[in-house]
Structure 1
Amino acid sequence: MPDRASAPRVAAIVGPYSSGKTTLMESILLATEAIHRKGTVVDHSTVGDASPEARDREMTVEVNIAQTTYLNGAWTFLDCPGSVEFLQDTFNALAVCDVAVVVCEPDPARAVMLTPMLQFLDSRGIPHMIFINKMENAESSVRAMIEALQLVSARPLVAREIPIREEGKVVGYVDVVSERAYRYQEGQPSALIQIPEALTDRESSQRQDLLEHLADFDDTLLETLLSDVVPPKEDIYQSLARDLSEDLVVPVFFGSAVQDNGIRRLLKALRHEAPTLDETRTRLGLEGQDPIVQVFRTRHAEHVGKLSIARVWSGGLRDGQALGGEKVTGLFTFPAGQQTKGTEVPAGTIVGIGRLESVTTGALINAEMVADPSPRLGPLFALALRTRKQGDDVKLTASLAKLCEEDPSLSVDMNADTGELLLWGQGDIHLQVALARLSRQFHVDVDASRPQVPYKETIRGSVDQQGRFKRQTGGHGQFGDVHLTLRPQPRGAGFVFHDTITGGVVPRQYIPAVEYGVNEYLSRGPLGFPVVDLSVTLTDGSYHVVDSSEQAFRSAAQLAMREGMPKCDPVLLEPILSVEISVPTEATSRAQRALTTRRGQILGFMPKEGWTGWDVVQGYLPQAEMHDLIVELRSATMGVGTFSWTFDHLQELVGRQADDVVEARKAFLAA
């Protein structure tokens, strides 16, 4: 077996919002003597969640980094956000960890909240353990919780402990591998005790279950069990470490981060069974010229500049060294969450690297840029931004680019139809945190509002319309005369311009000006929106040898369009999105209802591939109804429901709703 303390290792602490991840990391730092006094989330005194945005909301909104040592092994713990709105940060951190500790509450009804995380870990083969937290408040049995978790896990769960209860409270545990019992002691390591007689049979049965799970992946162990021979404990630990490294089984532990119960047991499991740096590199297939470094987070700080936080996969790293075609300017480590400058770090370390200006979050680099393997979450929620201070537009654009570099699940879009600057993210809280950072870090204050819907308009009728522009101002005048035929096009066919001019009634050099004038008008039709799906044909006209010009024919074309379009039965078009809603099966009917109550059309639903107990509802949804769909879905699914979308087509909108949209547009343009 490899020496598991030979190189620094990284554990990501993940799990649903409010499961107690930040408190768990605080307990780990206390147990490893990295800190001497334990902080609390309520008092805003924890090592993690130190940013104003996290403390204002009493929730993790970014990855917290803390380094410590345990039994001569160097560890970095990454306390990851639990809210689904900040999953991008969590996914980025998981890309550089050796093992993940999945934290959950002891409530079987909330086990579904772990589905997205467990599915992500299993689909990528990331080794992980489960820590059932808050056992001081447990109303259900550990066995019931494991059964509920098994329904949402693709890997077999193996219980490593049996709770010892007195008067309904968990006061200790029995380790089913070492076959030893321990009683929790406040502020101290657990005390070794005799296994309670009432738990002897259960311990034996649970130990046999564990061995049978391990034997599924170990022929030697299987032969030992079939021969009714008790395997040596060392063989069991080696099998556990091997199966965990290969993501074949998921060990389950329990305890209380608030009361520091079960923390040292979890640490011992990490120390002796979590994959080594070499095993993780093998899993990820990392090869190439040293050093190999992967950036999983980016920070921009005033007066300091850009800091790329990365894991050094191989070769070590020195200050001043060339990396990715740039020079490393400053190395930083994070003992107990504090940022400390250093000069050199070994392979395996999480390190902050100064001024790698061209390196993006997720980049895997060595002597040259290699790849960006991290997944990107699609946009779900948008706000339209407008600076409060005149002249801040350029500053806003540059600051938003830095925010998007820090968090790749943010994106910025300038909507060509509405002229709005849109900030897209994973939900309202996600964007509110981003705007708070925009103000605090970059000193740009904005007003945010619901984005306008990019409606279009088209025509249902045809018309032949003359446009005659004549102006005499002294000297040369202006004259242009055109005859245009306006006809509707099939939906999605777009705009086409033709001419059937013969005999030079409109000189060839003026025809492009006519098309230009038509195009200018199409940016705002009679209903106030961009015009699509029509054809315009220049059929006739006249000119003046002296007074005609490109500008005159451009104005004549606009005049013909302005007078002809209202005669063509203009109609409003609203954008329709193709959506796929992913929810637990018990919430499928609510997802369907969310579509239909928003004027959507259900196309069907099916089981979600690779997700046990989940469905995908497919349908069409007007973009006007999309804005807070994610809020409703998460409210109906304990925060785990989501959707993806793409633009599909434009559809006519008539009646009262269309009238309201047109009136609102007129008021907007008048303002």
Structure 2
Amino acid sequence: MARRCNIALVGNYNSGKTTLAESILRLTHATKGKAIGLLDTSPEARDRQMGVELNVVHTQYGELDLTLLDCPGSVELLQETLNALVGVDMAIVVCEPLSDRAFTLTPLFKFLDDWQIPHILFLNKMERAHDPYREILAAYRQASSRPLVPHQYPIWQGDDLLGYIDLVTEQAYHYHAGAAADLVPFPSELQAVEQAARAELLEALANYDDHLLEELLEDIAPPESEIMADLRWELGADLIVPVFFGSAQTDYGVRPLLAALDREAPDATATAAHRQINGEEPLAQVLKTFYIPQGGGKLSLVRVWQGTLTDGMSLNGVRVGGIYRAQGTQLESLGQATAGEVVLLARLEGIRTGETLSGSGQVPPLPCAPQLEPVYALAITPSKRSDEVKLTGALQKLLEEDPALRWEQHGDTHEIILWGQGDIHLQIALDRLRRKYNLPMQTHLPQVPYRETIRRSIKNSHGRYKHQTGGHGQFGDVYLDIAPLERGSGFQFSETIVGGVVPKQYIPGVEQGVREFLNQGPLGFPIVDVAVTLTNGSYHSVDSSEQAFRQAARLAMQAGIPQCEPQLLEPIMAVQVWMPQTFTAKVMQALTGRRGQVLGYSCKEGWPGWEQIEAYLPQAEMHDFVVELRSLTMGTGGFHWQFDHLQEVPEKLAAVIVQRHKNP
């Protein structure tokens, strides 16, 4: 019976994940001729020449029934990768043989190890390597908390990659275009380095196998079967990371990789047992949601953990409207899906990515990938005003497909703001709005929610509202004391009326008028941290009303606030920024260059070699901070932020902001 294994292909942008998937499909005859064009076929992917969402394909090799989940490599699309990883049996981390970029895989390695997901490293484009193989391994070992164990050693002739030595069998092979590698005599000049590399392999395995350790101490050569058994068990337990290499573009190294997967990859049954999923009730988890244009409806990519799913059955109270196996964009209809399969379920309305599905809908939820915080925003408006009514529904579907997106209607600026992981991420989302839902958008930077306050007090600011019409008139007369409050106090209203000069039934109207005026002060922004006291006034027994006193209060505020020295305030965010310690000084400089105040820095807990900076940063300086941070840290830096307090804007800058606000 075939073993079933679901494998995620992960790694940095441009490492060759999709090329490796296409090579595997070619070599396993899953497609006729070349497999190019089966993956990354969406308009958004073609326009950018990069993967922008999860692609799923299926094939078989030997006794292995294999589903590949080709994940996007851009750091801005990381949420897609994390959501997929929680449902796989192992991962292949695809990377280039670049020692100076090895550290960029640290966050990915850490996620895999935190979740105990077995993984191997495939050094792609090995023909372009400039550093010695051992130096490349040493660099990637610094990025991984699990030991990297070489499975092969390269054979070079000058700058040409000829083949490899299998460190388990100690046999040498030469690559050949369009064919399997040939067995060749062992190159004697590589005897010493091969022995050293093989010793690394055996010593790493012996750390978890006492019998193998005894053999090594007694200088007994372990049999191949024992080494293979250790590789399979230790890989499956996420104790080691075997390392392979090759060139997916030419299929070099892909055949031995497939052979190793057939021998050593953990299967779906082992993964379920490791996660302590061992019941009989149908159980699945949603890894990705798709909305197919032109009436295709909703498709949910799920990992079946236990039991059997059948077409038409009910999961979480929702009827399954079809079961499909994905081969890129091609769908094969299935009558059922059994434990270990990754399939598409149709028409699961109301079901979101990450949800646990069961027949009863009552099982405890399975762990989900962490939700990444949004770090970049654009304000959006439909190009056609008539499209405003359908925007909310389209955004809802967009967020179901891509949970890393957020949207809000800002309460202060009234803008619709789309949040994501970076400019590329948001541009992909906007392209989908235009292509899938015929909703072209106009964009601009979100407004900063500035505030005003006052610096001095005044007493008896007078406001009188008198309006005479044909019948009853309108009369209200008030005197207000206006004073500043401590930052963060908000607004306080009180009254010291004596003798009923302002009847009690009109006092709520005074407060309402004051609050209405505070919505927009003389600088053009809401006023905060102000105390207003109603001290005196007068009324008319016939013409006075609550409405008249509301207008009188507005007039009193309009006369008084400009005398209180209005001052512009800006929101200050508390930020925690993390990065490899190599970049700490550069990031500190970037923060201070954005008017930030660095509060301190420390080691990032659980991240050896990484540091974390605590700082205050004006919100006005944060829009493209993530762009600069990633540029400085080769894509590895990240941050968390939240509102902390309001702070005075420097006078010269305040004048520019006010002028720009009045004349946009």
Same fold per TM (> 0.5)? yes
Partner of 2:40: 49
8 Å Cα contact 1:318/1:343 also seen in 2:
yes
The within-5 A match list for 1:358-437 is 358-367=350-359, 368=361, 370-371=364-365, 373-437=368-432
Alpha-carbon deviations, 1:267-298, whole Å to 9, x = none? Answer: 12222212221221233333556211110111
What is the alpha-carbon distance in structure 2 between the residues aligned to residue 230 and residue 112 of structure 1?
35
Q: Which residue of 1 aligns with 2:519?
A: 523
* 8 A Cα contact 2:269 2:340, kept in partner: no
Match of 2:286 among 288, 291, 295: 295
Instruction: Give the % identical residues.
Output: 51
Question: CA, structure 1 residues 287+560, in 2 after alignment: closer, same or farther (shift >3 Å)?
Answer: farther
Q: Secondary structure at the match of 1:515?
A: helix
Matched with 1:611 is: 607
Q: Measured at CA, do residues 121 and 366 of structure 1 come closer, stay the same or move farther in structure 2, by a change above 3 Å?
A: same
1:231 shift after superposition: 2.0
Tell me what 1:130 maps to.
121
Q: How does 1:299-310 map onto structure 2 within 5 Å? A: 299-302=290-293, 303-310=295-302
Counterparts of 1:176 and 1:648, CA distance in 2: 56
The reply on whether 1:500 has 2:491 as its aligned counterpart is no
One-letter code of the match for 2:484? P
Is the contact between residue 495 and residue 533 of structure 2 (CA under 8 Å) also seen in structure 1?
Answer: yes
Select which of 226, 239, 248 maps to 1:235: 226
Larger deviation, residues 302-311 vs 378-387: 302-311
**Alpha-carbon distance in 2 for matches of 1:85, 1:92:** 14
**Partners of 1:432 and 1:317 in 2: how far apart?**
37
CA distance in 2, matches of 1:512, 1:405: 45
> Cα deviations across residues 86-124 of structure 1 (Å, max 9, x unaligned)?
000010111111111001111101112211211211222
Q: Which of residues 514, 518, 541 is equivalent to 2:510?
A: 514
Q: Deviations over 1:132-155 (max 9, x none)?
A: 000121212221111000111111
Q: Counterparts of 2:370 and 2:78 in 1: how far apart (Å)? A: 11
The 8 Å contact of residues 279 and 306 in structure 2, kept in 1 or not, is answered as: no
Over residues 575-603 of structure 1, what are the superposed CA-to-partner deviations in whole Å (9 max), with x where a residue is unaligned? Answer: 11111222222211110111111111111
Between the aligned partners of 2:402 and 2:409, the Cα distance in structure 1 is 19
Q: Equivalences for 1:473-552 in 2 at 5 Å?
A: 473-552=469-548
Q: Cα distance, 1:336 vs. partner?
A: 5.6
- Return the letter of the residue paired with 2:258: L
Matched, 1:38 2:30: no
Residue 609 of structure 1: SS of its match in structure 2?
coil
Q: CA deviation at 1:352?
A: 0.9
Corresponding residue of 1:261: 252
**Within 5 Å, which residues of 2 pair with 1:604-643?**
604-643=600-639
SS, match of residue 528 in structure 1: coil
Partner of 1:42: none
* Alpha-carbon distance in structure 1 between the residues aligned to 2:481 and 2:282: 67
Report 1:169-184 matches (<5 A): 169-184=160-175
Of 317, 328, 345, the residue aligned with 2:337 is: 345
Pair 1:447-2:442 in alignment: yes
d(CA) in 2 for partners of 1:285, 1:587: 41
Which sections of structure 1, spanning at least 5 residues, go unmatched? 40-44
- Measured against aligned partners, the alpha-carbon deviations of 1:301-342 in whole angstroms (never above 9, x if no partner) come to 231221111111111211101111111011111136522222
- Aligned CA-pair RMSD: 1.5
How far did 1:232 drift? 2.1
Equivalent AA in structure 2 for residue 362 of structure 1 = G
1:571 and 2:563 aligned: no
State the distance in 2 between where 1:85 and 1:553 align.
Answer: 54
- 1:520-555, CA deviations, whole angstroms, 9 ceiling, x for partnerless residues? 111111110011111112222222222112211111
Q: Does 1:326 align with 2:321?
A: no
Q: Counterpart of 1:348 in structure 2: which amino acid?
A: G
> Is 1:471 aligned to 2:462, yes or no?
no
Separation in 1 of the partners of 2:399 and 2:219?
59
Equivalent residue number for residue 453 of structure 2: 458
Pair 1:278-2:269 in alignment = yes
Task: Measure, in 2, the Cα distance between the counterparts of 1:544 and 1:199.
Answer: 106
Change in CA separation of 1:660 and 1:169 when aligned onto 2, cut-off 3 Å: same
Task: Select the residue among 1, 4, 16 that pairs with 1:20.
Answer: 16
Name the aligned partner's letter for residue 517 of structure 2. Answer: Y
Read off the aligned partner of 1:404 and give its amino acid letter.
L
Whether the 8 Å contact between 1:29 and 1:336 is mirrored in structure 2 is no
One-letter amino acid of the counterpart of residue 55, structure 2: N
Distance 1:529 1:226 in 2: 77
Q: Secondary structure at the match of 2:327?
A: coil
Which aligned pairs between 1:189-208 and structure 2 lie closer than 5 A? 189-208=180-199
Alpha-carbon distance in structure 1 between the residues aligned to 2:382 and 2:490:
34
| Conservation of the 8 A alpha-carbon contact between 1:35 and 1:336 | no
The letter of the residue matching 1:403 is: L
Measured in 2, the distance between the counterparts of 1:79 and 1:298 equals: 15
CA distance in 2, matches of 1:560, 1:241: 81
Counterpart residue type for residue 561 of structure 1: M
Structure 2 letter corresponding to 1:325: G
Secondary structure at the aligned position of 1:521 is classed as: helix
- Given residue 139 of structure 2, which amino acid in structure 1 is its aligned partner? A
Aligned partners of 1:9, 1:521: CA distance in 2, in Å?
Answer: 65
One of 95, 101, 106 as aligned partner of 1:104: 95
CA distance in 1 between counterparts of 2:500 and 2:322 reads 72
SS in 1 for 2:249: coil
The Cα shift of 1:204 comes to 2.5
